[in-house]
A and B are shown apart, each in its own frame.
Chain A
Amino acid sequence: ETGVTQTPRHLVMGMTNKKSLKCEQHLGHNAMYWYKQSAKKPLELMFVYSLEERVENNSVPSRFSPECPNSSHLFLHLHTLQPEDSALYLCASSQAPRGGSSYNSPLHFGNGTRLTVT
């Protein structure tokens, strides 16, 4: 399998549930990202793992918890979400140049997980 794969494609969860989104990249990249896409809003960067260092967006609520066990896998652990967290969650990877910004490399996105919180 090639590219960036995300599972599950669709997820419906209640506000008291705990679930995890999974992302795997087969491109040999050294940076991975979680993005959120809500209706009529720009893509919002949630978390970045670059060269195994986590860069956090301080505006992300603590009910979202990322985990990056190695350079190929990325998880987003979800607990006690709110209905307004319903969105498309996209994982991406890139090859960050050594000493350079990871943001200057094109992102390769997965097809996303469509999350609905009831």
Chain B
Amino acid sequence: DQQVKQNSPSLSVQEGRISILNCDYTNSMFDYFLWYKKYPAEGPTFLISISSIKDKNEDGRFTVFLNKSAKHLSLHIVPSQPGDSAVYFCAASGDDKIIFGKGTRLHILP
């Protein structure tokens, strides 16, 4: 049973537009959420995180929103750039564990 789900395996967005990546979780004990980005042949790199005491965290072009009642978080990238093409993983931690989603492959179209 997947505790962290990224239901879109892939997403294509026009350069300059907003990219929205979604993530759902099932365990109400999760209290810290992270997004990672992965290029081919490289390890994942940390992008942005949010604690459950907040509902929004912003860092430059990246904003993460958390809806605790819906157990849903999303990553917004605006404006999208060609270098944003990568696989994005969400992760949820708490209850003495961390669980990753399967990832969403983002393609930024010229």
Contact = CB atoms under 8 A, between A and B. Distances in A.
B76 to A, nearest CB: 19
Is the interface on chain B under 10, 10 to 19, 20 to 34, or 35 or more residues?
20 to 34
Contacts of B42: 111
Contact of A111 (B31, B36, B41, B94): B41
Contacts, number: 49
B4 interface: yes
Contact of A103 (B4, B98, B103): B98
B92 to A, nearest CB: 9
Nearest to B32: A104
Given A42-B102, A107-B46, A101 B96 contact: yes
Interface in B43-73: 43-46, 49
Contact of A40 (B2, B99, B102): B102
Interface of B: 2, 4, 31-32, 34, 36, 41-46, 49, 89, 91, 93-94, 96-103
> Interface majority SS on A: helix, strand, loop or mixed?
loop
Interface residues of A, number: 18
